[in-house]
Chains A and B, each alone.
Chain A
Amino acid sequence: DAGVIQSPRHEVTEMGQEVTLRCKPISGHDYLFWYRQTMMRGLELLIYFNNNVPIDDSGMPEDRFSAKMPNASFSTLKIQPSEPRDSAVYFCASSSRSHHGYTFGSGTRLTVV
């Protein structure tokens, strides 16, 4: 298995633009998580899905953030409009009950200028 695949690895965009981050979880994993990592706040959970259904989105900072999981092999995190304070590394991770652990993607480094 190729692991959790995130794209793009790096994204630089101008303030106000829409940004879409993508994630392909490990096949067979039924949990998918989106995390954000900044120097100031460390790692924070944004939202997670179980069997493609959003379970907890209490970490999504504002209405500018939205996440979808249309099927078991794909999820997106969208920021519209983006702001400089959204600059961070965004990680996707997947897990399953039988796996009892997490597998993280390589992350997307987002810079909003």
Chain B
Amino acid sequence: KNEVEQSPQNLTAQEGEFITINCSYSVGISALHWLQQHPGGGIVSLFMLSSGKKKHGRLIATINIQEKHSSLHITASHPRDSAVYICAAASSKNSGGSNYKLTFGKGTLLTVNP
């Protein structure tokens, strides 16, 4: 069983809709990352959070440490938001600086239609 589970695997939305992608993890973490990858493209780090909520433009990321759960929300979705969104957990079990070592979810493929 993967230590980081994402849902849904695939998500199709109409432009303007509110999007939620969920991530659950089973390990103790020092931080939770949300990454974005466009088809055939590179990976962009969207958020790193260890508590509460962060917002950047139309993107909001939340985390509940007690429930080991994080969500990525996209408000007023747009076709350019179509991408794979990947959740990654930085384990707190590791020593030294290795809280930077990430365990990845399988990703959520988001398609936003005009």
Contact = CB atoms under 8 A, between A and B. Distances in A.
Interface residues of B, number: 22
Interface string B58-85: 0000000000000000000000000000
Chain A interface residue bracket vs B: 20 to 34
A25 interface: no
Given A91-B43, A104-B42, A42 B96 contact: no
Given A50-B97, A55-B98, A42 B107 contact: yes
Contacts of B31: 100
Contact of B33 (A50, A102, A106): A102
A31 B102 CA distance: 13
A103 B104 contact: no
B96 A50 contact: yes
Secondary structure call for the A interface:
strand
B97 A101 contact: no
Interface string A32-55: 010000000011110010100001
Given A43-B86, A50-B96, A55-B96, A104 B44 contact: yes
A2 to B, nearest CB: 13
Interface string B93-105: 0101110111011
Interface of B: 31, 33, 35, 41-45, 48, 86, 88, 94, 96-98, 100-102, 104-107
